[in-house]
Structure 1
Amino acid sequence: MTQQNNDQDYNAFLSAVANQKEVWILTDQHGSVMLNTDDEDCVPVWASEAEAAAWISDEWKDCEPEAIPLKVWQHRWTAGLEEDEFCVVVSPKENQDGLVIHPEDLDADLRKAIKKANS
């Protein structure tokens, strides 16, 4: 994947989340699904239920998409992920890595996207 595609996907994610005011994760009986990169433990997030559901397959077959209201994400999840030293992987797709980002950086970008959506 090229950096330009990654940037376009990330900007589309930010815009969609700012407009819909929710972030989608996958959960199972143990809580939020986690992914591991070479360097980071990450929580995958998507902008829509359909994108999150598309990730469900074999080893994830018991997962369900769950919407997190944006305010809850910003006030609870961002701090909690930072505290636990987790990153966020934005919109991973089958056979394609998503963008790995620190929760505080994602929060700052979401705040800019919300401001832009409300102007």
Structure 2
Amino acid sequence: MSSESDISLRDYYEDFIDEILTTEIIWGLKNDDGWAVCASNDFEGHETIPFWSNEKDAQKLCVDEWQDYQPSPIPFDEFIDAWLHGMHEDEVLAGINWDEDLVGPEIEPIMLIEDLLEEE
């Protein structure tokens, strides 16, 4: 991966942290069957649940195979206590502020918890 890509992925991640610490809301995509999940782009054999720091960016992904999904808010405390801890136990990654091509950082939930609590 080029250093330019690394910088933009790091920027995606830092923007996510900054924005959710301000709003205390995380956005996922949900439909009648549950939350959007997909195969990891970076780690073969792992699943990723994508999250966004704002509704507008999450809405951009409600197309094609996710057209029946809608952005759904997750409170900050619930995100850390229930979501990230459960994802860590299930070995599911967190996709962070993915773009329309499903490209963005993928991080282990425990690392995300540490970064959020460190910045809080």
Corresponding residue for residue 79 of structure 2: 73
In the TM superposition, what whole-angstrom CA distance separates every residue of 1:10-64 from its partner, at most 9, and x where no partner exists?
1111000100001100011111100112522000000001010011102111101
Deviation at 1:96, TM superposition (A): 5.2
Deviation at 1:65, TM superposition (A): 0.5
Deviation at 1:68, TM superposition (A): 0.4
Rounded to whole Å, the distance in 1 between the matches of 2:14 and 2:101 is 20
Give the percent of matched residue pairs that are identical in Structure 1 and Structure 2: 25
RMSD of aligned C-alpha atoms? 1.2
Q: How many residues align?
A: 114
Corresponding residue for residue 6 of structure 2: 3
Residues 25, 96 of structure 1: CA spacing in aligned structure 2 closer, same or farther, 3 A cutoff? Answer: closer
One-letter amino acid of the counterpart of residue 106, structure 1? L
Q: Gaps (5+ residues) in structure 2?
A: none
Rounded to whole Å, the distance in 1 between the matches of 2:65 and 2:11 is 29
Corresponding residue for residue 91 of structure 1: 97
Rounded to whole Å, the distance in 2 between the matches of 1:95 and 1:84 is 25
Give the ranges of 4+ consecutive aligned residues of structure 1 lying more than 6 Å apart after TM superposition: none
Instruction: Compute the TM-score of the two structures, normalised by the length of structure 1.
Output: 0.90
Deviation at 1:95, TM superposition (A): 2.4
> Residue 103 of structure 2: SS of its match in structure 1?
coil
Instruction: Compute the TM-score of the two structures, normalised by the length of structure 2.
Output: 0.89
